[in-house]
A and B are shown apart, each in its own frame.
Chain A
């Protein structure tokens, strides 16, 4: 394997893991997904066009593999709360973990097409065009999915996390005035 290819594949691993965990909500399963992605990618490394974005290529493989394989276990995967609780227990204790738990729970409630679009654009740092290529859809579709995901997420977190996303001062004043 070319040293530069090897380096760029390894360099993409941290972000691939973050994407995979966001997709399937389970660290062990996500790592299996990344491993299967890398096996596939390296077996087909000849189809990678040098000079193009290695990261985007790997994300595409991972996303397609997730769609085809993990959809079969969809009911299990999207059985959100219990599953998420389990997956989060497996993660090392880190500050802010509680915050992420709430956030991940909300993220898990989004339709998967909205979730992947939001992650690719909002966290992985891909452009709308790159995200559209990865997901095999139109740029406009990605934009609308990202917008819907943001709106839904804000709604979900406003309900669940009163302290962080709850009533603004004005609403509190109205509530206090009612007492």
Chain B
């Protein structure tokens, strides 16, 4: 009987040891976090960069430039 109790306590020991293991895992996770944040920041930078750029791209071709090409094209035709 006593032996049974002993063994069940022994069995419990490894279960109790899971706590330090968990906290070790947590520690590992938190150590990894800055690198993960770095990637998130990189992704956000990329998004913002493209959003800023596309904001201009989406304005299309201002008349000024269409007119310019027409004018330059016209003067070319006159020459030839």
The chain A residues found within 8 Å of chain B, CB to CB, are 1, 6, 9-10, 13-15, 17-19, 21-22, 31, 34-35, 38-39, 42, 94, 96, 99-100, 103-104, 107, 118-119, 122-124, 150, 153-154, 157-158, 164-165, 168, 170
Contact = CB atoms under 8 A, between A and B. Distances in A.
Given A6-B73, A14-B58, A96-B55, A123 B50 contact: yes
Interface of A is mostly: helix
A103 B53 CA distance: 11
B24 interface: no
A103 B42 CA distance: 13
B70 to A, nearest CB: 9
B61 A14 contact: yes
Contacts of A165: 41, 44
Nearest to B75: A42
Give the contact-size bracket for chain B. 20 to 34
Given A42-B69, A123-B50, A100 B76 contact: no
A38 B72 contact: yes
Nearest to B57: A14
Given A17-B59, A154-B41, A119 B68 contact: no
B42 to A, nearest CB: 6
Contacts of B55: 18, 94, 96, 100
